[in-house]
Structure 1
Amino acid sequence: MHPLLPSLAAAGLYAGATLYQGLRFGRRQAPDKRLLGLLGALALLAHAFSLHFQLLPGSGLSLDFFNAASLIASAVIALTLLSLTRLPAENLLLLLFPLGALTVLLAQFVPAGTSTPIVEQPGILAHILLSILAYGLLTIAMFQALLLSLQDHQLKHKHPSGLIRNFPPLQTMESLLFGFLWGGWLLLSLSLLSGWLFVEDLLAQHLAHKTLLSCLAWLVFAVLLWGRHQLGWRGHKAIRWTLAGFCLLMLAYFGSKLVREFILHI
């Protein structure tokens, strides 16, 4: 199979699912959850084939900037599709499907940076996997926080759009947000712990900023979860803390990776 085909198929299926969901919301109708899940699963399958060609071109794991973004986007979409079996999280897909289409195309068409293929022991690979899953869940939490902010704003101004009318109640949206935050924070904790156990020098030259920013993000999310449990934090305060923690986490991973691969070329 030519590596271009699954990338184009994934992008096309993501775009089709987004169009279907957008049209249903425009008519103030809830999308068919099974059809949406089927389109998402097919797009994710094509995305997985695309990642196979991009991540494993030869010896080692090619995890450059755009490949990493595509991998994390696929993990985010997979986690959201799995959550649909128990949670009303389909509104998130209206944001996540376009993200999947964008990242799979960028990974296919944008030249890779100077990243060296990763050939490591199982402990390091487990650390990488935990990191990706943590980023995935916390990315879902970030999108959930944005949707919650939009819903809260429109309800307060009494101008709910067709999109907002199909959202679950505000309390359910907040519960979803903190469920994703708890899962992401626990995975981030395991990621940092595995890094401490398996990475030989966690504060090496190219890891110092990433480690520091990841620890700060972990602390921000920990304070938010404590504030929710002890002080009942919710609404705008919870949204602001979520976005602050996410920004730190994205700077930790993508910021350092962007600088190393495309600016410093190391």
Structure 2
Amino acid sequence: MAFYLLTAFACVHNILNPKQRNGRASVLAALCAMALHGLWLFDIIVLVPGQNLSMLNVASLISLIIAALMTVLVARFKVWLLMPLVYGFAALLLAADWLIPSHYSMYLETRPEVLLHIGLGLMSYSLLAIASLLAILLGFLTHRLKSHKLTNLPSMPPLMTLERYLIRLIFIGVVVLTLSISSGLFFLQDMFSPGKAHKAILTIIAWCVYVGLLWGHHRLGWRGRKVIWASVIGSLLLTLAYFGSRFVREVVLG
């Protein structure tokens, strides 16, 4: 948590002082944070009887995946404004996971097909969550540009470039999400059983939203607000699918 917070503060410093940027130090702190985070998750998820895939463990794992992907992509995307949020949120989820331990055991060593389905689901959610962050940043920068305040923000990517990266990331995320849904339909016989059907239905609706977004962008020339809102709505639907019922079961009902 300390390394995550240190990295977040370093990113803020780099944003506000682009001429004194020390990217190597912030990357080193981020690598230390993610390595320790990974060891912590390995200990509490894998090194227990069964695999403890509680809601907070899964959320913390997703935050680690997002932090790792964003650390790799930030130099290309130039989305430095998002990095303090990414690292800070990872630290927050890590703290919650540490302070509020919970258990939801799954024995995946005997069901590798389920492990594949879960892995694809986590990766697709992480990619599309990053896409929603890029969409929110795109909307923020567009608003600043219309207010003639964009020049006050350092280290900003060109809006056209950011939108192009956003569409590419959504396309990759949709491909992985398609594989995740397909693996669930093929391997999971209880995918539409009572108590689980809502997750499958919401995921498929989110998939339709993203496919509609890509179709509208390439066929009808959708840009700007339509792309931003569709990306955010798709991400919210996936969040409800992955965490909605588990939040009620593990937190509300205890």
TM-score (norm 2): 0.93
Give matches, 1:1-266, under 5 Å: 11-27=1-17, 29=19, 31-84=21-74, 86-112=76-102, 115-119=104-108, 120-160=110-150, 162=152, 164-264=153-253
- C-alpha displacement of 1:29: 4.6
8 Å CA contact 2:198–2:241 kept in 1: the answer is yes
The number of aligned residues is: 253
Gaps of 5+ in 1: 1-10
Which residue identity lines up with residue 63 of structure 1 in the other structure?
A: L
Aligned to 1:8: none
Provide Cα deviations, 1:163-195, integer angstroms capped at 9, x if missing partner. Answer: x33111111111121121111111111100011
TM-score (norm 1): 0.89
C-alpha distance 165-220 of structure 1, shift in aligned 2 (>3 A): same
8 Å CA contact 1:54–1:107 kept in 2: the answer is no
- C-alpha displacement of 1:123: 0.6
8 Å CA contact 1:54–1:108 kept in 2: the answer is no
Which residue identity lines up with residue 214 of structure 2 in the other structure?
A: L
Which residue identity lines up with residue 136 of structure 1 in the other structure?
A: S
- C-alpha displacement of 1:205: 1.8
- C-alpha displacement of 1:264: 4.4
Which residue identity lines up with residue 13 of structure 1 in the other structure?
A: F
C-alpha distance 206-239 of structure 1, shift in aligned 2 (>3 A): same
Gaps of 5+ in 2: none
C-alpha distance 30-223 of structure 1, shift in aligned 2 (>3 A): farther
- C-alpha displacement of 1:226: 0.7
CA distance in structure 1 between the aligned counterparts of 2:76 and 2:133, rounded to whole angstroms = 18
Identity among equivalent pairs (%)? 33
- C-alpha displacement of 1:34: 3.3
- C-alpha displacement of 1:158: 0.7
Which residue identity lines up with residue 20 of structure 1 in the other structure?
A: A
Provide Cα deviations, 1:71-109, integer angstroms capped at 9, x if missing partner. Answer: 000011112222246443444322210111011111111
C-alpha RMSD over aligned residues: 1.8
